[in-house]
Chains A and B, each alone.
Chain A
Amino acid sequence: MRVLGIESSCDETAAAVVSDDGVLSDVVWSQEVHAAYGGVVPELAARAHLERIVPVVRAALAAADVDRPDAVAVTAGPGLVGALLVGMSFARAAAVGWGVPVVAVNHLEGHLLSPLLERPAPPFPYLSLVVSGGHTTLYRVDGVGRYATLHETLDDAAGEAYDKVARMLDLGYPGGPEVDRLAALGDPLAVPLPRPLPAAGGWSFSGLKTAVRAVVRAGANRPEDVCAGFQAAVIDCLLARVNQEVDRTGIEHVAIAGGVAANRGLRARLAALPIATYAPPPGRCTDNAAMIGLTGLVRLNAGLESASFEARPSWEVH
């Protein structure tokens, strides 16, 4: 079976063809229109998806040498509703035209399962840390459609904290990669910052953000050292929960996904853990359609009932 995956939940327009043998094509077009605004502008995102979706899908089908896929899988949430509707309308119309089924896919489930696109792939059960601008959640993945949330952020997502620290330092948008780059040049011990871990579980990054703000206002430290201190604190917090759950569950296979999983500091620290770790290549950490096609494929293969075909701005995985 060959599944066309379509992703348009935020500011990437993406299409991919995934088969039981692997990824046949994977096309991502990143919208650059938002950089000037310091953030994603929902209406501009929807317009840009509308402009790019046909060429992106055509390119994915051509690269896979597929005229008509056996099914279409599309992100139905969580995301910006106007952006989601572009991909969903296109997917449904194309599926009707081809006479094939269309499956609504949860973007977070796509991230959770994305390590299965790589070789070696983690065996079930594995732990999956999804870290992005909107989410910071540690899941236990027991199988397709069988997920449990172990920890989640109580306030800011890790990626959001990166973007806000970048803004405090005037590093531009998106700021995460720039903080990561500067952090590599700084001394993580020069700026001591708190490692807040809520007693009841999960993460809380808002206090860390406030602490960074105080440091930046004081103006006594180099931006490289502020970034290094901040990054070390975030990674310590993330890995503290990972280590805690490895010990508690005995599961020694840990994958990361989501935009912050492309962070070099996090990848290096994860790889140094004495367990089996899985970090997809950076292009498969950020938003992509291969993970959406894969999720559609494995759900269809597992005979799982698909969700109703409606756009869901917030849609958690349970």
Chain B
Amino acid sequence: MRRDLEDKEATEALGRTIGAALDPGHCVLLVGDLGAGKTTLARGVARALGVTGVVPSPTFALVIEHAGRVPLLHADLYRLESDAPIDDLGLDRDDAIVLIEWPERNLGALPADHLVVALTDAGTGRQAILSATGPRHAALLAALSR
């Protein structure tokens, strides 16, 4: 699934659309270069989950937990060494929605069943490309595509 994102508001709106479709146990990987709009999209997801406060970049803290209608774990692996052990980040939570920026640093350690949102800037404008692996997130992607 492919969406054009004409501005920052469109990026946040896509985040809200995705957020509204998420349930506990869903895992969303946000891929994109520095400044591609990952934290903006994450803010949209958080808003859809009822998070009202500031949604800052988790780069320094690694993981920030937000209290929405469902707990939202907003993680960022940017500062980590490739394939660093991430067990102690506490991302393995069935009761929460997990949103991970810079997952490509540690793909091997992440849940196999997940939704990928790739943000690209091809020079002609930003695009989001959504893909899924695993049955649960394939169903989520199908619901989002409708």
CB distance A80 to B62 under 8 Å?
yes
CB distance A154 to B35 under 8 Å?
no
Provide the B30-54 mask, 1 if CB < 8 A to any CB of A, else 0: 0001111101100100000000001
Query: Chain A's nearest CB lies how many Å from the CB of B119?
Result: 11
For A37, A42, A213, which residue has the most chain B Cβ atoms within 10 angstroms? A42
CB distance B39 to A39 under 8 Å?
no
Count contacts on A: residues with CB < 8 A to the other chain.
35
**Interface: B20 (CB within 8 A):** no
A82 to B62, CA, bound (A): 12
Q: Which residues of A contact B81 (CB under 8 A)?
A: 37, 39, 41
CB distance B79 to A40 under 8 Å?
yes
CB distance B56 to A314 under 8 Å?
no
Report the nearest A residue to B63, measured CB to CB.
Answer: A313
CB distance A41 to B84 under 8 Å?
yes
CB distance A78 to B88 under 8 Å?
no
Q: Which residues of B contact A156 (CB under 8 A)?
A: 39, 56-57, 59
Report the nearest A residue to B38, measured CB to CB.
Answer: A206
**Interface: A142 (CB within 8 A):** no
Q: Which residues of B contact A81 (CB under 8 A)?
A: 88
A82 to B86, CA, bound (A): 12
CB distance A164 to B34 under 8 Å?
yes
A132 to B57, CA, bound (A): 13
Q: Which residues of B contact A154 (CB under 8 A)?
A: 54-56
Query: Chain A's nearest CB lies how many Å from the CB of B102?
Result: 10
**Interface: A304 (CB within 8 A):** no
CB distance A313 to B61 under 8 Å?
yes
**Interface: A17 (CB within 8 A):** no
Q: Which residues of B contact A313 (CB under 8 A)?
A: 61-63
**Interface: A12 (CB within 8 A):** no
Query: Chain B's nearest CB lies how many Å from the CB of A42?
Result: 7
Count contacts on B: residues with CB < 8 A to the other chain.
28
**Interface: A101 (CB within 8 A):** no
**Interface: A222 (CB within 8 A):** no
**Interface: A263 (CB within 8 A):** no
Q: Which residues of A contact B56 (CB under 8 A)?
A: 152-157
**Interface: B9 (CB within 8 A):** no
Instruction: List CB contacts (< 8 Å) of A156-201 with chain B.
Output: 156-157, 159-160, 164, 167-168
A155 to B53, CA, bound (A): 12
CB distance B64 to A314 under 8 Å?
yes
For B36, B55, B60, B78, which residue has the most chain A Cβ atoms within 10 angstroms? B60
B39's contact among A37, A38, A80, A155, by CB below 8 Å, is which? A155
Query: Chain B's nearest CB lies how many Å from the CB of A165?
Result: 9
**Assuming A134-B61, A160-B59, is B79 touching A82 (CB within 8 A)?**
no
CB distance A157 to B84 under 8 Å?
no
**Interface: A133 (CB within 8 A):** yes
Q: Which residues of B contact A38 (CB under 8 A)?
A: 79
**Interface: B80 (CB within 8 A):** yes
CB distance A168 to B65 under 8 Å?
no
**Interface: A306 (CB within 8 A):** no
Contacts A38-B79, A313-B63 aside, 20 further interface pairs with beta carbons under 8 A come to: A39-B81, A41-B81, A43-B85, A43-B88, A81-B88, A82-B88, A152-B54, A152-B56, A154-B55, A155-B39, A156-B56, A156-B57, A157-B57, A164-B59, A168-B34, A209-B35, A210-B34, A213-B34, A313-B62, A314-B64
Residues of B at the A interface (CB closer than 8 Å) are 8, 33-37, 39-40, 43, 54-57, 59-65, 78-81, 84-85, 88-89
Residues of A at the B interface (CB closer than 8 Å) are 37-43, 78, 80-82, 132-135, 152-157, 159-160, 164, 167-168, 202, 206-207, 209-210, 212-213, 313-314
